[in-house]
Amino acid sequence: MATYNTSSTLSALFKEIYDDSAQSVIPESVKLQKKIKFKQGDKELGDKFIVPTMLSHEHGVSYLGANSGVSTLQDVNAAVYKEAQVDASAMLLRAAISYSSAAKMSNSKKSFMKWSEMLVSNMVGSMAKRLEISLLYGQTGIGTISASSSSTSPSVLTLTTASWASGIWAGMEGCELDVWASNLTTQRNSNATLVVSAVDLSARTVTVTGNNTDIAALAATDVIFFRGANAGSSVFNEFAGVDKIVSNTGTLFNISASTYGLWKGNSYSAGSAALTFSKVLAGLALAVERGLAEDVCLVVSPKTFANINSDLSALRMYDSSYSSKIQEQGAEGIKYFHQGGMVEVVPSIYCKEGEGFAFPVAKAARIGSTDLTFKLPGKEDGEIFLQIPDKSGYELRCFTEQALFCYQPAKMVKFTSVVNS
């Protein structure tokens, strides 16, 4: 008896194999999503999530001395607690399949797996990549232009070495971009979206097509965003990433870093040279002085990771006191003790070559209504496949709504001016 494919048939097969979720096919390259746990929350203030936050210590301490007898106690000098307001951002990816492909998929579970595996894996990989980039560089941009080859379309954009991350640009042909002046408020391509037509990972170049007036306006120090991520006038359609949080000096999550020192991160320069073991320790010391006393994750580019790994290997050769209890090395990560705990150096293909970020994973969370999923809000029946109006096919959507939040930015460190050898 023939099986007729419907959206319900396809949705049922999808749920049987993938369990409504995208988690089973998350790629290994997305390190932060695996380390920072997702925390589902309820919106308590309009469309915002509320997180209680401590910004200072208690100061009502009385020094009574020896044999003080009855003494007047210091007045209560309470710590400052505020409610951080976190705006979760939604991302949605659409993909379509024709009726003929759907018919082949619906014949059996085996057929569905055969025809859906590549589509579902690619959708999850694409969304997980965008989410991972947002976790690092949400609201700060994915690259900085050092030169534009032409004043007309197409133009080859060369990115600065410091702002280049091969993982961001690999496979990005066809991707749509916006370019903003370094102040992030003046959009260069005000007439049309720029489209990536070619990428050269070795040369650090991205070729774009677009409106000639927009192309002519591109200049050095301009910052590249994914289309729609920056809405202008200090308004963003993506959440703040690690870079934005650790670099913030103004108001973020409704709390001012200029008023409360614990809401401001730390910065350490590698001095336009390689990032070494000793520089990592010196940078982390800044956070230790402000209360860091736990394990941290240091995210760096693969080239920076190689330099640190080589530096530690050289130290081992001349240090007979080496112990595996103190240091662990490998191709996937390096662990060693710092002044406040253990630091794990993690290479990420999405981290720009000129910087690195250290933060305590236990003090960070991904807060929102849902992690990556194919089950759409409002679809209580669990329908996964949707009819496309006026098209001979079905639509599949991958969705998330979340934001990155760090409870104590003072325990974060951004390493800058890294030049890899």
**C-beta neighbour count of 87 within 10 angstroms:** 17
Q: Are 354 and 416 in contact (CB under 8 A)?
A: yes
CA angle, residues 167, 313, 325, in degrees to nearest 5: 100
Instruction: State the Cα–Cα distance between residues 245 and 263, nearest whole angstrom.
Output: 9
Q: State pLDDT tens for residues 185-229.
A: 999 999 999 999 999 999 999 999 999 999 999 999 999 999 999
Q: State pLDDT tens for residues 137-181.
A: 999 999 999 999 999 999 999 999 999 999 999 999 999 999 999
Sign of torsion, CA 411 270 31 182?
positive
3-state secondary structure of 169: helix
Domain ranges in the chain?
7-53+85-138+367-397, 143-236, 242-319+326-365+407-418
What residues are paired with 367 via a beta bridge?
Answer: 39, 403
Instruction: State the Cα–Cα distance between residues 196 and 89, nearest whole angstrom.
Output: 24
Q: Are 139 and 239 in contact (CB under 8 A)?
A: yes
Q: Give 52: exposed, middle or buried? Use CB within 10 Å, 0-12, 13-18, 19+.
A: exposed
Which pLDDT belongs to residue 134? 98
Q: Looking at domain 242-319+326-365+407-418, does it have CATH number 3.30.2320?
A: yes
β-strand pairing of 266-273 with 413-418 = parallel
What residues are paired with 266 via a beta bridge?
Answer: 413
Which pLDDT belongs to residue 326? 41
Helical pair 7-18 and 109-137, crossing angle rounded to 10 deg: 70
Instruction: State the Cα–Cα distance between residues 77 and 278, nearest whole angstrom.
Output: 39
* Phi and psi at residue 62, to the nearest 5°: -110, 130
Using CA atoms of 186, 187, 191, 196 in order, give the dihedral in degrees to the nearest 10.
160
Q: Give 331: exposed, middle or buried? Use CB within 10 Å, 0-12, 13-18, 19+.
A: exposed
Percent of the chain exceeding pLDDT 90 equals 60
Q: Give 320: exposed, middle or buried? Use CB within 10 Å, 0-12, 13-18, 19+.
A: exposed
Amino acid at site 259: T
Residue range 143-236, CATH number: 2.40.30
Which pLDDT belongs to residue 325? 40
Instruction: State the Cα–Cα distance between residues 134 and 149, nearest whole angstrom.
Output: 28
Q: Are 115 and 101 in contact (CB under 8 A)?
A: yes
User: Which candidate, 181, 195, 171, 175, places its Cα nearest to that of 141?
Assistant: 181
Instruction: State the Cα–Cα distance between residues 18 and 8, nearest whole angstrom.
Output: 15
Q: What is the pTM of this model?
A: 0.89
Give the pLDDT means over successive 10-residue stretches in the chain (421 positions).
Answer: 56 74 72 92 75 86 80 84 91 90 81 80 92 98 98 98 98 97 97 98 98 98 98 95 97 94 97 95 96 95 93 54 46 76 94 98 94 78 80 89 95 98 90
